[in-house]
Amino acid sequence: METLATHAYLAIIRDNLRLEYATKMEILRELRAHIEDKLEELKQAGFSEEEATRSCLKLLGSAKSVARQIYEAHSQGTWRQTMLAATPHLLFALLFALNWWQVPGWRLVALALILITAIYGWWHGKPTWLFPWLGCTLMPVVLAGVALFYLPVGWSWIVIILYIPLALWLFCHLAVQAIRRDWLYGSLILLPAPVIAGWFLAATAEGRFPGFGFENPHYFAPWIGLTFLVLGLTVGLFVRLRQRWLKGTVLFLSGVLTVALVAFYNGGKLGLPTFLFLVLASAGLFLAPALLERGVRHREQREV
């Protein structure tokens, strides 16, 4: 029978074990069975229940340390998961590198594939490979918001007032679902945002908004493809790494690198202030899920 001390110990491990739900539950069941077997063995050796519990948990070590070790043993994704996670960014890299983005049919096929895959992953346990796909599903939402500025003045503000709350709700909903698993997955979703913003600014006529023209993306297309290739490689490395601090470091450095690539290949149009703004925005988007995680967990603990 599980004691209060054992229950609290397993609860700490559960809260710090940032793995897929099914994997986490299986590990907790096995760990609980192991603890119960060890407790029974100690009680048969003459220990009281309290002494047996204290001795057993001491042998196991700190709950957070155990959670970290279990995480590192199970956090490395398979090569199949790695390819699935990197695919959406590699798909955009291919579209821009081959200039297929100019063909409406290819754009629709890419967006439909991303949307269908994201919905499938969402309803099948939110596996690790899903989160980059969710990040790419936000790209049409952002671009649709930008397109609203091109509507007639009267209509644009009416639509924008209605659109922004819906878009923010979608962003927040996805972010909360991601950080309940691990705030790093929230950062993974937001990874393309600074790149998209940087290329949009670079593609505006003389850097003035809204001077966006399709001839400018045509000029930048190969370099846009390169930045998405970097994002795809980043995601693949993220999935294959075991240590969380290495995963976080890779995401942060990738954000800075891709923004630097945007600044380098746009011919100096962004300027130093805009480049620094994008770097700060990248850092802010990387850290924002960590701050939100504290609020989400605090609220959940209060509800319990």
* pTM, to two decimals: 0.82
178 and 186 in contact (C-beta within 8 Å)? yes
- Type and span of the H or E element at 236: helix 215-240
192 and 230 in contact (C-beta within 8 Å)? no
How far from 38 is each of 34, 57, 62, 185, CA to CA, in Å? 6, 10, 17, 36
Query: DSSP 3-state assignment of 125?
Result: coil
Instruction: Residue 243: name the closest of 81, 85, 72 by CA.
Output: 72
Q: Provide the residue-wise pLDDT of the chain in tens; the chain has 304 residues.
A: 567 888 889 988 988 888 888 888 899 999 999 888 888 888 888 888 888 888 888 888 889 999 999 999 888 989 999 999 999 999 999 998 888 888 888 888 888 899 899 999 988 888 889 999 998 888 777 666 666 666 666 666 666 677 777 777 777 778 788 888 889 998 999 888 888 877 777 766 444 444 444 445 667 788 889 999 999 999 999 999 999 999 999 999 998 888 888 877 766 666 777 778 878 888 888 888 888 887 766 665 554 4
pLDDT of residue 104: 82
How far apart (Å, rounded) are the C-alpha atoms in residues 250 and 221?
A: 25
Residues in CB range of 113: below 8 A, 6 or more apart: 91
Q: Per residue in 113-152, is it b (16+ CB within 10 Å) or e — as a string? A: ebeebbeebbeeebbbbbbbbbbbbbbeebeeeeebeeee
Amino acid at 57: L
Amino acid at 104: P
DSSP code for 78: P
Nearest 5°: phi and psi at 8? -65, -40
How far from 177 is each of 67, 182, 186, 207, CA to CA, in Å? 21, 9, 8, 36
Q: Domain spans of the chain?
A: 4-73, 77-303
Amino acid at 23: T
267: left (phi over 0), alpha (psi -120 to 50) or beta: left
How far apart (Å, rounded) are the C-alpha atoms in residues 193 and 174?
A: 14
Instruction: Residue 202: name the closest of 226, 183, 220, 175 by CA.
Output: 220
